[in-house]
């Protein structure tokens, strides 16, 4: 998938990976890759600046621990982050419905 297609959606995707519990940066990247069947495989090193930006915005909270002798920073959603994720989901559903209607594809969401 092309990186520009992610514009405006990366924050929501990263927040979604933290919904089920705290994760460190590499695990966030892997979760994103797994959830999309490998279609969304971002360079690991570029996920961290996005996580730092979300932390500065108060949407996630990071904490340090030591795992296997290595310093590890783990992130979890804040309340504000959960609200932002819910908003991103609503926005995406609305956007996808409009685009599906406009492009003349099948009904969305798929119900088969």
Partner 1 sequence: MAGHELIERHLRTLAERLPDPVVDELADGLLASYDDQMERLGDPDAAAQAALADFGDADTVTAAFIRASPARHAAITLLVAGPIVGLGWGATLVTANGWTSAIPLPLRLTLGLLLGSVVLMLVTALREQRHYRTVRLAALGGAATVAVVDTLMLGMVVTLVPPPSLLLLVALSGSVARIMLAVRAVPTLITRL
The answer for residues whose C-beta is within 8 angstroms of residue 89's C-beta and 6 or more apart is 12
Q: According to DSSP H, which parts of 7-57 are helical?
A: 10-17, 25-35, 44-56
According to the binding rule CB under 8 A, does residue 61 interact with partner 1? no
According to the binding rule CB under 8 A, does residue 29 interact with partner 1? yes
According to the binding rule CB under 8 A, does residue 50 interact with partner 1? yes
Which of 45, 104, 106, 109 is close enough to bind partner 1 by CB under 8 A? 45
According to the binding rule CB under 8 A, does residue 37 interact with partner 1? no
Report residue 59 as tokens: 């949407």
The minimum distance between CB 74 and partner 1, in angstroms, equals 10
Peptide bond into 109 cis (omega under 30): yes
According to the binding rule CB under 8 A, does residue 56 interact with partner 1? yes
Calculate the CA dihedral of residues 20, 21, 25, 28 and round it to 10 degrees: -10
CB atoms inside a 10 Å sphere around CB 60: 25
The minimum distance between CB 92 and partner 1, in angstroms, equals 22
Residues lying near partner 1 in the complex (CB under 8 A) are found at 24-27, 29-30, 41, 43-50, 52-53, 56, 67, 70-73
């Amino acid at each position: 998938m092309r990186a520009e297609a992610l514009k405006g959606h990366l924050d929501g995707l990263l927040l979604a990976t933290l919904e089920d519990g705290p994760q460190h940066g590499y695990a966030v990247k892997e979760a994103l890759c797994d959830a999309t069947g490998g279609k969304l495989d971002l360079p690991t090193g570029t996920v961290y600046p996005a996580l730092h930006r979300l932390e500065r915005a108060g949407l996630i909270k990071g904490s340090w621990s030591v795992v296997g002798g290595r310093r590890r920073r783990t992130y979890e959603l804040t309340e504000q982050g959960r609200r932002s994720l819910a908003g991103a989901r609503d926005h995406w559903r609305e956007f996808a419905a409009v685009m599906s209607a406009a492009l003349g594809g099948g009904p969305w969401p798929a119900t088969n």
